[in-house]
Amino acid sequence: MTIVMKENVQFIVKDEKVQEYIDKGFKQVKKVDESENNEKKQKSLSKMNSGELKELAAQLGIEIDDSLTNKEIVAIIKEAQNGNE
């Protein structure tokens, strides 16, 4: 897994997709250690507090309005994760 960035938007993408993002103007920021990535994924979204959800959203390049509930943030994150696969 690799973090790519364009302006203020970051995505964590599979290594085989990095070139597609580079072709779209993204820059490769760093490789993500699989064990580190899996450790973060082990905690289900529904068990995360609002701070953890907002941090994950930021890592995905999603701006979260403070008025959103945890349930709404989870739905937005799931939609973004499904769109990146």
3 burial type by CB count under 10 A (0-12 exposed, 13-18 middle, 19+ buried): middle
- Helix, strand, coil percent values for the chain (each to nearest 5): 55, 20, 30
Give residue 40's pLDDT. Answer: 52
Q: How many CB atoms lie within 10 A of CB 1?
A: 16
- The amino acid at residue 81 is Q
- Locus of tokens 């953890």: 52
- Locus of tokens 């779209």: 24
Q: How many CB atoms lie within 10 A of CB 25?
A: 9
* Whether pTM exceeds 0.75: no
Chain segment 27-83, per-residue pLDDT in tens: 998 887 655 555 555 578 988 999 999 988 888 888 888 899 999 999 998 888 876
Chain segment 10-32, per-residue pLDDT in tens: 888 888 989 999 999 999 988 87
